[in-house]
């Protein structure tokens, strides 16, 4: 029995040894390399660039007050549509004490003068009716009395404007009513009821009551690298995609290219503005992030091949064209000249290859 186990053990060792030898031999033998075959195709090829930017209204108007005071009423919220002349807010005037005192004094003087001119007019009128005074004197005192009445009215209006910011004779067009200057969408209302506001003057820009924009007139504003800016011209088409709106593809036309560069993270870029053809079915909002694709060059029905099959050697380019497939693959190295590239495929401008050629691709495993 022991002899049987010894023989079995020796046979097992021999089998392991032979198996190991055969395995190492088979793995050490050279395998035939087989390559994927790629055919050139004829199709349109484009060189494009992508600009990052955002959607903005062409004109974003800041509505500012014509008088200083405190907001007493706000009639709009962001997202509301307004028309030219709509009242956005009302302002309560906080009068200056010195101006208020001066206006009150003017009213008192005007009232005293009116009382005096009234007495003179009534006395002259009685004498004129009794034929003791001339018509000329009567008309003169009447005119003076009328002027005194107008002066009192003007003084009262001035007092009302200083005290309340509105004249009783012109309440509808008062400066205390802040009105929309364009028709559009209210984007922002940065003030609240009770906020103090000041009018625009030579020392400050004034307080913004609301921002209004026409959302039917939008532009794309983006930046392009200095290496590609010379390939763009005003009037070139662009295709806008908005990240927040799936499958969005808006047409646009380049309107302006900045004449001076700005530094952006160490690189020089130029600002681009393009007019967007607004789709009425799409709810566009100011500030949307967007990408713009611009076709810099295009070759129609061009012979092109994947760039991965091209071999670059200095300034020359080559491909390997299948010569025979049996008993194993053989390839000829052929020089070609490339043209446009879209980053994946390259145009073949010249070279001894056709659409029927088979080119060496990646090694198959």
**Which pLDDT value is given to residue 336?**
92
Assess whether the previous peptide bond of 2 is cis (omega < 30° from 0). no
Name 270's Cβ contacts closer than 8 Å, sequence gap at least 6: 223, 224, 226, 229, 257, 258, 260, 261, 262
DSSP tag of 31: P
Digit-coded pLDDT (tens) for 177-209: 889 999 999 999 999 999 989 887 777 888 999
Q: Are 90 and 177 in contact (CB under 8 A)?
A: yes
Ranges of residues in the chain whose predicted pLDDT is under 50: 171-173
Question: Looking at the DSSP assignment, which residues form a beta bridge with residue 330?
Answer: 324
Measure the CA–CA gap between 250 and 279, rounded to whole angstroms.
Answer: 8
Task: Return all residues near 333 (Cβ < 8 A) that are at least 6 apart.
Answer: 311, 318, 319, 320
Q: Rounded to whole angstroms, how far apart are CA atoms 41 and 36? A: 16
Q: How far is CA 1 from the centre of its chain?
A: 93
Q: What is the pLDDT of residues 307-357, one digit of tens each?
A: 999 999 888 999 999 888 888 888 999 999 998 888 899 999 998 898 888
> Which is nearest to 293 in space by CA: 319, 263, 272, 312?
272
Say what angle helices 97-129 and 135-164 make with each other, to 10 degrees: 160
End-to-end CA distance of the chain: 50
**Three-state secondary-structure class, residue 298:** strand
Tokens coding 129: 């009716």
Q: Answer for the pair 315, 324: CB distance below 8 angstroms, yes or no.
A: no
State both tokens at 331: 């390839």
For residue 26, the surrounding DSSP H or E stretch is: helix 2-28
* Per-residue pLDDT at 173: 46
Residues 6+ apart with CB under 8 A from 328: 32
Task: Yes or no: say if 214 and 61 are a contact pair by the CB < 8 Å rule.
Answer: no
pLDDT of residue 4: 60
Please state, in angstroms and rounded to a whole number, the distance separating the CA atoms of residues 306 and 288: 35
* Distance of alpha carbon 341 from alpha carbon 46, whole angstroms: 7
pLDDT reported for residue 310: 92
212 three-state secondary structure? strand
Structure tokens at 269: 């870029």
């Amino acid at each position: 029995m022991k002899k049987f186990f010894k023989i079995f053990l020796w046979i097992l060792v021999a089998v392991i040894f032979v198996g190991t030898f055969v395995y190492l031999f088979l793995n050490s033998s050279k395998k035939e390399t087989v390559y994927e075959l790629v055919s050139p195709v004829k199709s349109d090829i484009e060189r494009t660039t992508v600009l990052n930017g955002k959607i903005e209204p062409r004109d974003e108007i800041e509505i500012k007050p014509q008088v200083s005071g405190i907001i007493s009423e706000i009639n709009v919220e962001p997202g509301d549509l307004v028309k030219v002349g709509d009242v956005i807010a009302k302002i309560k005037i906080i009068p200056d004490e010195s101006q208020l005192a001066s206006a009150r004094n003017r009213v008192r003087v005007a009232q005293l003068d009116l009382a005096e001119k009234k007495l003179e007019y009534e006395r002259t009128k009685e004498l004129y009716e009794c034929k003791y005074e001339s018509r000329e004197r009567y008309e003169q005192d009447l005119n003076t009395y009328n002027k005194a009445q107008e002066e009192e009215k003007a003084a009262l209006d001035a007092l009302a404007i200083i005290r309340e910011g509105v004249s009783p004779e012109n309440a509808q067009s008062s400066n205390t009513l802040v009105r929309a200057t364009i028709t559009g969408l209210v984007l922002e209302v940065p003030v609240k009821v009770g906020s103090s506001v000041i009018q625009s003057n030579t020392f400050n820009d004034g307080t913004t009551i609301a921002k209004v924009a026409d959302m039917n007139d939008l532009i794309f504003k983006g930046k392009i690298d200095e290496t590609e800016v010379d390939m763009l011209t005003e009037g070139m088409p662009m295709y806008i995609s908005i990240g927040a709106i799936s499958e969005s593809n808006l047409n646009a036309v380049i309107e302006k290219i900045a004449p001076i560069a700005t530094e952006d993270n160490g690189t020089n870029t130029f600002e681009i503005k393009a007019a967007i053809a607004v789709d009425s079915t799409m709810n566009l909002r100011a500030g949307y992030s967007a990408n713009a694709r611009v076709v810099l060059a295009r070759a129609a029905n061009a012979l092109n091949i994947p760039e991965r099959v091209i071999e670059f050697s200095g300034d020359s380019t080559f491909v390997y064209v299948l010569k025979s497939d049996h008993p194993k693959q053989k390839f000829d190295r052929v020089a070609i000249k490339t043209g446009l590239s879209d980053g994946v495929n390259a145009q073949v401008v010249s070279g001894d290859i056709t659409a029927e050629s088979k080119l060496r691709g990646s090694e198959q495993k």
